[in-house]
């Protein structure tokens, strides 16, 4: 009897020892391999670091969000991020492979933090519905002008279609063009846009777009956007 107890305790301690350390695993993302380093201790995942990936744009944020949720819930039973399904799956696969021989045993079902079902009234000056480029810009501008702002986004991550826009942003007569010695004007941009729209465009909107686009560029740059490449 005594022998049996000793054996069990030896087994338990060997798991505890094995589960402390750093473990590497990889999975298949949307663009290629996702490789992670998982740090574990006391039979728990403490940290997940993506050490290699080829995912693009906002899906990188998805990896961070999924990683955080795996750590919080100590489970791989976490929802994929809409719009980044393959990335989410690839990351979870990588973590699963990393811990496969680590001794860490995750929860089969995510133990989520208790959600509160209490509602309370919040005072605000502005409510922005939708956290794409337009909503984010509106919310930031309102906040900069002293308003209290609540931004509501229905998806698990902000960004909307703006997350997928990678080609560039049209603007004329910008400070960036000036620096590069490129001659351009709001008028050229206006004519080009009207032509592109077979002259069916809303003239007042096109005027607003073409005359004020340069200010949008400066504003985006002031927020840290890299728009130095002109094509
Ligand atoms: C693949 C792709 C490539 C593109 N490339 C370019 C490009 O290179 N250059 C360019 O200028 N444009 C490009 N575009 C177009 C550009 O992305 C869009 O014109 C722009 O992002 C629209 O911004 P938005 O904020 O109006 O809408 P969105 O970015 O779509 O944001 C709307 C947000 O509102 C949220 N929402 C909707 N309903 C609700 C609700 N009831 N409650 C809470 N939230 C809600 C949505 O989830 C979303 O996050 C591209 C678009 C795509 C799809």
pLDDT at 7 over 60: no
127 lines ligand 1 (CB under 6 A): no
69-120 pLDDT, tens digit per residue, is 999 999 999 999 988 999 999 999 999 999 998 888 888 876 665 555 678 8
Instruction: Report DSSP letters for the chain, one per residue.
Output: -HHHHHHHHHHHHHHHHHTSEEEEEEEE-SSSEEEEEEEEETTEEEEEEEEE----TTHHHHHHHHHHHHHHHTBS--PPPTT-HHHHHHHHHHHHHHHTTT----BSS--PPPPP--------SEEEE--SHHHHHHHHHHHHTT--EEEE-SSSSTTGGGGG--S----SS-HHHHHHT----HHHHHHHHHHHTTT-S-HHHHHHHHHHHHHHHHHHHHTT-------
196 lines ligand 1 (CB under 6 A): no
Mean of the pLDDT values across residues 20-42? 94
Identify the weakest region by mean pLDDT among 160-169, 171-180, 190-199, 204-213: 160-169
32-76 pLDDT, tens digit per residue, is 999 999 999 988 999 999 999 999 877 888 999 999 999 999 999
Minimal-distance CA residue to ligand 1 atom 8 = 167
pLDDT at 165 over 70: yes
Mean of the pLDDT values across residues 113-139? 87
**What's the predicted TM-score (pTM) here?**
0.72
What is the Å distance from ligand 1's center to 116 Cα?
A: 31
Long-range contacts of 204-209 (CB under 8 A, 24+ apart): none
Q: Identify which of 162, 193, 210 to mutate to test ligand 1's pocket (most ligand atoms within 8 A of the CB).
A: 162
Q: Identify which of 83, 127, 130 to mutate to test ligand 1's pocket (most ligand atoms within 8 A of the CB).
A: 130
Mean of the pLDDT values across residues 185-210? 97
pLDDT at 13 over 80: no
Q: What is the pLDDT of residue 163?
A: 85
């Amino acid at each position: 009897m005594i022998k049996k107890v000793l054996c069990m305790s030896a087994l338990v301690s060997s798991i505890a020892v094995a589960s402390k350390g750093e473990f590497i695993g990889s999975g298949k993302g949307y663009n290629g391999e996702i490789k992670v380093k998982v740090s574990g201790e006391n039979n728990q995942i403490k940290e997940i670091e993506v050490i290699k990936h080829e995912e693009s744009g906002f899906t990188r944020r998805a990896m961070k969000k999924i990683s955080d949720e795996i750590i919080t819930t100590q489970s791989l039973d976490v929802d994929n991020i809409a719009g980044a399904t393959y990335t989410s799956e690839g990351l979870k696969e990588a973590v699963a492979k990393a811990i496969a021989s680590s001794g860490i045993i995750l929860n089969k079902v995510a133990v989520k933090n208790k959600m509160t079902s209490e509602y309370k009234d919040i005072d605000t000056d502005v409510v922005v519905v939708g956290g794409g480029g337009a909503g984010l810009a509106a919310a930031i501008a309102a906040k900069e002008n002293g308003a209290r702002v609540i931004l509501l986004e229905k998806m698990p991550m902000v960004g909307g279609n703006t997350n997928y826009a990678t080609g560039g942003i049209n603007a004329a007569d910008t400070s960036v063009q000036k620096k590069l010695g490129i001659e351009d004007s709001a008028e050229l941009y206006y004519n080009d846009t009207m032509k592109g729209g077979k002259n069916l465009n809303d003239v007042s909107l096109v005027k607003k777009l073409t005359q004020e686009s340069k200010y949008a560029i400066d504003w985006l740059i002031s927020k840290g956007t890299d728009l130095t490449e002109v094509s």
